[in-house]
Amino acid sequence: MLSERQNEILKLIIEEYSKSPVPVGSSSICKLLGVSPATVRSEMAKLEDIGYLEKTHISSGRIPSEKGYKYYVNNLMKPKEMTGQDVLNLQTIFQNKSLVLSDAISKSLEIISEMTNYTTIVLGNNNESKLKKVEVIPLNTNNLLAIVITDNGHVENKKIDIEDSDLQEISKTVDLINKLIVGTPINEVSEKLEFEIKPIIAQYVNNHEMIYNAFYAAFSDLKNSSDVTVKGKNRLLELEEFSNNASKIRDIINKFDDDNIVSSIREDDAGINIYIGAENNIDDDLTVVKTKYKVNSEEGTLAIIGPKRMEYDKVVSLLEYLKTCIERE
C-alpha cells in the first residue's frame, strides 16, 4: 500500500501527463506539493521501483506505467464534476422528442467525442429490433439498391442485378414483404421469409428467385451484424503520441474499420469498466472505458476510447451521465 505522499505524487503525475505526453519531472511536482525536490525525487524513485512509474531514456522525468494507471483508477480517481454546459448539451439531445433513442445516443456520442477529443462507439443489438420497412432505389438500368430498415433506425443495403427482371415484379416483392413481415423481430425474419413468404412470392412474381435471394442476404447480414456507430474515428490521430507515427495511425484506423474487432468491445457488465493497454482488444497504447445500457428490451454497449493518458475522471463522469440519460428514457 502506498503512503499518502506517494498517492499524492502518483495522482499528480498522472493528471499532469494527461495534459501533455511529456515526462513529468520532480520540479513541477515540488511546486504543486510545496515539498523539497529531494523528497519528491526519492518518492518518485520508490514509485518506479514498485512499477507504478517508468523512466524514459530521453528525459529525467517519469511517466505512469499501466500498473500505475490501474492503481490510480482503482484507488485515487474520483469522477470529475461535469460543467453546466456539458450537462446542457447532453440534456438538450434527450429532451428532443423527435429523436428515436438510437439517434439520441449517436448524437450524444458525437458531442462527447468533441468534448474529449477521443473516439466514441455504441454497439446496439439488432436481434432486439424489428423490421420497419423495405425499399428499393434504382441505380441504373441494370441495378438497384435494396434497403432494409429497422425500428431503431439501422439500415442495411444490398445491390441487386436486375438485368433480366421486371421492375414491376420487384415492386410486387417489396409490397409483399412490407405487408407480411413488417414488425417481425430481425432474428426471426430470415426463417419467416424462407418458410412463409417465399411460397407466397412464388405465386405472384415470375422471376422471384433472384429477387428473393437478394432480400434474404440483406436480412441475414442484418441479423448477424451489430448495430455499430463510431464517432470521432480520426480524433486519436491528432494526439501528440500518434501524430508522427504513420504505422500506428494506419493500424488504429484499420482496427476501427474492422467490424469483428469493434464488435469485440461489447460489454456484459452494467458498471463503468476501464480496460487499460493490454487489457483491451483494440491496441496496447489505448484505453477503453465502457458500460452496458438497457432500456426495456433494447440493450447495447457505450465506449469511449482514448490514449492511456486519458482524462479518466472526466471520461467516467461523461459515460455515467450518458448511461443515466439513456436508461431514463
Nearest to 177 by CA among 197, 162, 157: 197
Classify residue 249 by burial, with Cβ atoms within 10 Å: 0-12, 13-18, 19+.
middle
| pLDDT at res. 202 | 82
Contacts of 171 (CB under 8 A, 6+ apart): 136
Q: How far does the chain reach from its first CA to its final CA, in angstroms?
A: 42
Q: What does DSSP assign to residue 89?
A: H
> What would the grid cell of residue 216 be?
434474404
43 CB-near residues (< 8 Å, 6+ apart): 3, 5, 6, 9
List domains and CATH numbers for the chain.
Answer: 4-76 (1.10.10.10), 84-125+227-328 (3.30.450.40), 127-224 (3.30.390.10)
Number of helices (H) and strands (E) in the chain: give both, helices first.
14, 10
- Position 94 scores a pLDDT of 93
Evaluate whether 326 touches 105 at the Cβ level (below 8 Å). yes
pTM: 0.76
pLDDT at 164: 65
The pLDDT of residue 301? 93
Angstrom distance (rounded) from CA 3 to CA 52 = 13
Report phi then psi at 257, rounded to 5.
Answer: -90, -5
- CA dihedral defined by 22, 24, 25, 28, rounded to 10 degrees? 110
Residue 283: phi, psi to the nearest 5? Answer: -165, 140
Q: Chunk the chain into consecutive blocks of 10 residues (it has 329) and report each block's average pLDDT, rounded to whole numbers.
A: 94 94 91 90 95 82 95 95 94 90 91 95 75 84 80 72 72 85 84 85 76 75 70 87 85 86 85 94 93 85 95 97 90
pLDDT digits (tens, 9 = 90+) for 121-157: 998 765 567 888 888 888 877 788 888 888 766 677 7
User: Contact 109/302 with Cβ under 8 angstroms?
Assistant: yes
Cα atoms in the 13 Å half-sphere on the side-chain side of 60: 6
* 328 class by beta-carbon count within 10 Å (0-12 exposed, 13-18 middle, 19+ buried): exposed
pLDDT at site 200: 86
Q: Which pLDDT does position 196 carry in this prediction?
A: 86
Q: What is the pLDDT of residue 78?
A: 93
Tell the residue number behind the cell numbers 528525459, with chain if given: 59
Contact 193, 146 (CB under 8 A): no
Strands 155-161, 228-231: pairing is: unpaired
**DSSP H or E run through 42:** helix 37-49
Tens digits of residue pLDDT in 28-44: 899 889 899 999 999 99
